[in-house]
Amino acid sequence: MFHHFALYVPSSDWAAPLRGGVLDWLAEYARTTQVFFVVGGYVAARTLGSRDWTLSHLGRFALQRYCRLGLPCLAIVFVMPAIIGFARGWVDDELLGQPATLEQLVAHAFLLQDILGYEALSAGLWFVGISFQLGIAYALGLALQQGCGRFGQAVFALLAWGAAAYALFHFNLDAAGDAWALYFWPYFYLGVLVQKASRLDGKAEFWVFQGLLLCAALFAWRWRLLMAMAVGLLLYVAQRAGWGRVWPNGGVLTGIGRISYSLFLVHFPVLVLVSAVWARFSPDWPAAAAVTGLAVAFTGSLAVAWGFHRWVESPAARLSRRFGAVGT
């Protein structure tokens, strides 16, 4: 959220006279998608790895996954045109984009906007589509593993490692590929291996994969690979030390974690709304007062996320459980 607040005008312009250096750092380096993907792979392995998988189970899981991720995202997609219309003329078009089209809305509804080349209606929606793809790809891999009998684990490992190596040394080098799960598969699979490392047969594979990531970073420097390695190592140590059983236990951090997906979805619409209101009613405020807009956007995002979690995300999660597949 801070990354987006620092990245987009006018919020970045408001605070630039007072906190320009901090904003520049947040805009450039506060990119945490690797954290999400590594943790996502870890949780997916914990929740999906021991299930029985058939074609029927795959179909139900796809529906469950869409309800859990897609329906809350869909709510944002269909409210954004109204927010953009309200802000048009007061907020830079670079932030708002072009007016939404019916085809664009349909592409968003199926989480295909990036694959089909449509402009995103809100920040971060690409991540929802990639998370959906990664979940389906992992479930397909598990179904193949179970279908291959005693050779299943070897087949799954061969495909997973092959896809990771291809991504690291070729596919991941071209940013044009970031509409596809393969681009992010190495991060996700690292999380899977962290969970596997809780068994005696998984530790060596985890460390060898860390070495593969390091070789890829040396082959073509990408700091996000080191970020993924650090997150994977932290999860590995936390799992072995048992930290997750004792921390965090309640409190503000747990509360924010519970609404984190809602916060991820709503913070950009809230930022656009606050920016439009500030531009309409206080266009000439001095920087010190204008920074108040960032505080309002921050607290407003938390408040809206709480309501969104209660009335949109939670009902969608309850609906997803009716399909009988446990997802992330």
Q: Is the pLDDT of residue 328 over 60?
A: no
pLDDT at 202: 78
Q: How far is CA 208 from CA 37, 39, 295, in A?
A: 19, 19, 45
Of the two residues 72 and 15, the one the predictor is more confident about is 72
Mean pLDDT of all residues in 199-204: 80
CA distance 42 to 231: 11
Q: Is the pLDDT of residue 241 over 50?
A: yes
Mean pLDDT of all residues in 158-163: 98
| Model pLDDT for residues 7-41, shown as the tens digit of each residue | 776 666 666 665 667 777 887 777 778 899 999 99
Of the two residues 8 and 147, the one the predictor is more confident about is 147
Question: Using only C-alpha atoms, what is the Rg of the chain?
Answer: 21
Q: How far is CA 83 from CA 28, 90, 94, 122, 275, in A?
A: 27, 12, 15, 10, 11
Of the two residues 241 and 112, the one the predictor is more confident about is 112
CA distance 218 to 239: 28
pLDDT at 33: 87
Which percentage of the chain shows pLDDT scores above 90? 65
Q: Which residues pair with 287 in a beta bridge?
A: none
pLDDT at 275: 86
On the CB side of 253, how many CA atoms lie within 13 Å of its CA? 4
Contacts 24+ apart (CB under 8 A), 108-114: 108/73, 108/74, 108/77, 109/70, 109/74, 109/77, 111/66, 111/69, 111/70, 111/73, 114/178, 114/179
| Model pLDDT for residues 205-227, shown as the tens digit of each residue | 999 999 999 999 999 999 899 99
pLDDT at 31: 76
pLDDT at 295: 85
Of the two residues 268 and 285, the one the predictor is more confident about is 268
Angle, helices 260-281 vs 71-87, to 10°: value is 10
Of the two residues 190 and 14, the one the predictor is more confident about is 190
CA distance 246 to 68: 27
Q: What is the mean pLDDT of the chain?
A: 89
pLDDT at 326: 43
Phi, psi of 88 (to 5 degrees): -60, 130
Torsion of CA 59, 62, 65, 70, to 10 degrees: -130
CA distance 271 to 278: 10
Q: Is the pLDDT of residue 327 over 70?
A: no
Torsion of CA 91, 306, 19, 279, to 10 degrees: 20
| pLDDT bucket at 286, cuts 50 / 70 / 90 | low
| Model pLDDT for residues 78-137, shown as the tens digit of each residue | 999 999 999 998 888 888 889 999 999 999 999 999 999 999 999 999 999 999 999 999
Highest mean pLDDT of the ranges 1-10, 145-154, 182-191: 182-191
pLDDT at 289: 57
Q: Is 45 within 8 Å of 196 (Cβ atoms)? A: yes
